Structure 1
């Protein structure tokens, strides 16, 4: 069977639907954003258990069907939009109060959709989402298995796995396993930084070469001298032999503070790693 447009895989297993709804803990007065309602496996229950429901559907045909189905329900609003570009602080239903997010997120867009909500000025109180299993593991990882995605999520929210979902729970079955994850956003970021762009410049540099020791990865990622990267890490009190995946959130805070104190070094011409290679090649 040929997958539908946009590579959609529609949830059909009622036990998974039940687990998602129980984790979302919906109440009659809740405002809920459902991302990717598709054929509506979750939608009817969300509408019946909640107050206002905002349905964000990227597929134009699916959005039209949903709009027709709920055209007489004034508590349901259907938006044909890519959720990566949704502004939660601009919609009138969300701007004046709390809201929850529930969704079976498209694999190709899950990361930016999650970050869009978590980094918005008006965050949800909870997110119960279905994503690819490996992505869920990354989002909920502990020090030792951390990645840039782990950091990007856990700065803004706690993450808890709800249930693993095998391919046969969908129509058509995807080639990968999925997991349901519950994210509970914090009122403020767990780390202090001047701006997300500022912090993630450092973080992306730190994870540039994740299998290398931290100072090597920072030298590669920030394009700074190797000795400077080693000094930067040493000043934090962390072992320079540590690898990026082993750092906890508080370690990143210390590293960021030292990096800022040092003038945010990056893009230094003639980085030692590259210049050393040239010398060896001469």
Structure 2
């Protein structure tokens, strides 16, 4: 990428943009991804193309999703990459990845250096599409990666931990110093691999109920479950699922959150059937 373009670039802080420049880190990430010709490779937030340029060497065509119209135009007109790239100038959280998978003819391999200000929201959005995603390799704020991989009873264990671990096997790849970026951010980063399960580890009848239970529990994480979930579950109902009502949100494993989600789902079905009966 032309260094003059890099130096003269006006950063759009509203997009949370920082740009990776460390060649060792770039090569390590591409080595972890192992892109191959014939695969459907999709990069989210390519920025100035530091990762794009290296990945493109291994594939015939790849798709990049870039919100910044100037960067999208820059990549579309890149003298070496323009014939390799399918550039989508769009917010990644408005992309229908299921439709994209159908259009491109196979499951998606996603990667990217995700902006800090949207990374968590984007992860929740992508979980909707794990049925069409083969794997994901993301550079994230280290704190976000710590939350993704956290186990019960850890301070970093939260709603993101539960939802991510329900959908994916999560593997930390490498830690990245802030000096690998320009401008230098105030936080360190890490690269993580997410492998969506082909067979989910726990049965959940309605995933929206899992989202509800985790939101309720972790939005009041200092309270005991007796209090944070008291409007939805009695102590008896919690005990029937093997849950001590004096525990807090961070003490429950993914399995137990799935059990509670199923209780809500079954309750909703019974209420619906009752309404139909009375009608």
TM-score w.r.t. structure 2 length? 0.84
Q: Secondary structure at the match of 2:118?
A: helix
List gaps (5 residues or longer) in structure 1. Answer: 266-282
Following TM superposition, where does structure 1 have runs of at least 4 consecutive aligned residues deviating by more than 4 angstroms?
70-74, 92-95, 261-265
Listed one character per residue, the Cα deviations across residues 212-260 of structure 1 (whole Å, up to 9, x for unaligned) are 22222212xxx45xxx532221121122222211222222222223344
Hey, what does 1:51 align to over in structure 2? 60
Give 2:48's aligned residue.
Answer: 39
Alignment match of 2:229 (pick from 218, 221, 229): 218
Which secondary structure state, in structure 1, belongs to the residue aligned with residue 46 of structure 2?
coil
- Aligned residue for 1:125, secondary structure, equals strand
Q: Where does residue 186 of structure 1 map in the other structure?
A: 197
**Aligned residue for 2:19?**
10
Q: Equivalent residue for 1:271?
A: none
Structure 2 Cα separation of the partners of residues 206 and 254 of structure 1 = 14
Distance in 1 between residues matched to 2:131 and 2:91, nearest whole Å: 18
Q: Shift in Å at residue 7 of structure 1?
A: 2.7
1:231 to 233, 236, 239: 236
- Per-residue CA shift, 1:28-78, capped at 9, x if unaligned? 222100111101110111111123200111111000000001687544200
Which of 162, 168, 174 is matched with 1:151 structurally?
162
- Which one of the candidate residues 215, 237, 245 is aligned to 2:250? 245
CA-CA distance at 1:141 after TM superposition: 1.1
- Counterpart position of 1:165: 176
How many residue pairs get matched?
A: 259
Aligned equivalents of 2:90 and 2:163: distance in 1? Answer: 24
Match of 2:277 in 1: none
Paired residue secondary structure (1:42):
helix
Q: How many angstroms apart in 1 are the aligned matches of 2:209 and 2:167?
A: 16
Residue of structure 2 in register with 1:130 after alignment: 139
Q: 3-state SS of the aligned residue for 2:98?
A: coil
Deviation larger for 136-145 or 37-46:
136-145
Task: Flag the 1:258–1:197 CA change in 2: closer, same or farther, 3 A.
Answer: closer
Ranges in structure 2 where 5+ consecutive residues have no aligned partner: 1-6, 271-279
In structure 2, do the counterparts of structure 1 residues 179 and 94 end up closer, same or farther at CA, with 3 Å as the change threshold?
A: farther
TM-score by length of 1: 0.83
Alignment partners' CA distance in 2, 1:230 and 1:3: 56
